[in-house]
Amino acid sequence: MPCARLAELRAEREWALSRKKELDETEAKIAAETAEIARLEAELAELRGETTVSTP
């Protein structure tokens, strides 16, 4: 039945959009945490009197 297929496709689309949003949020969180790690490592190196090498 066309109506059942339409409902199935809409449900799958919603699932895919939800999954994409979740993945995007996770990637953003990882990027933010990676930046925080780099910042803290640089701060600690400075406090220890070490020279730091900037990494992107």
- 7 within domain boundaries: no
Counting every residue written for the chain, the total comes to: 56
- The single-letter code of the amino acid at 51 is T
- 56 within domain boundaries: yes
**CB atoms < 10 A from the CB of 45, how many?**
13
- 35 within domain boundaries: yes
Structural domain count, the chain = 1
Least confident of 2-6, 31-35, 40-44, 52-56: 52-56
- Kindly report the pTM of this predicted structure: 0.68
Comparing C-alpha atoms, which of 56, 4, 2, 49 is closest to residue 34?
Answer: 56
Element (H, E) at 53: none
- Read off the pLDDT of residues 25-47 as tens digits, 9 standing for 90 and up: 999 999 999 999 999 999 999 99
Domain span at residue 35? Answer: 25-56
- 42 within domain boundaries: yes
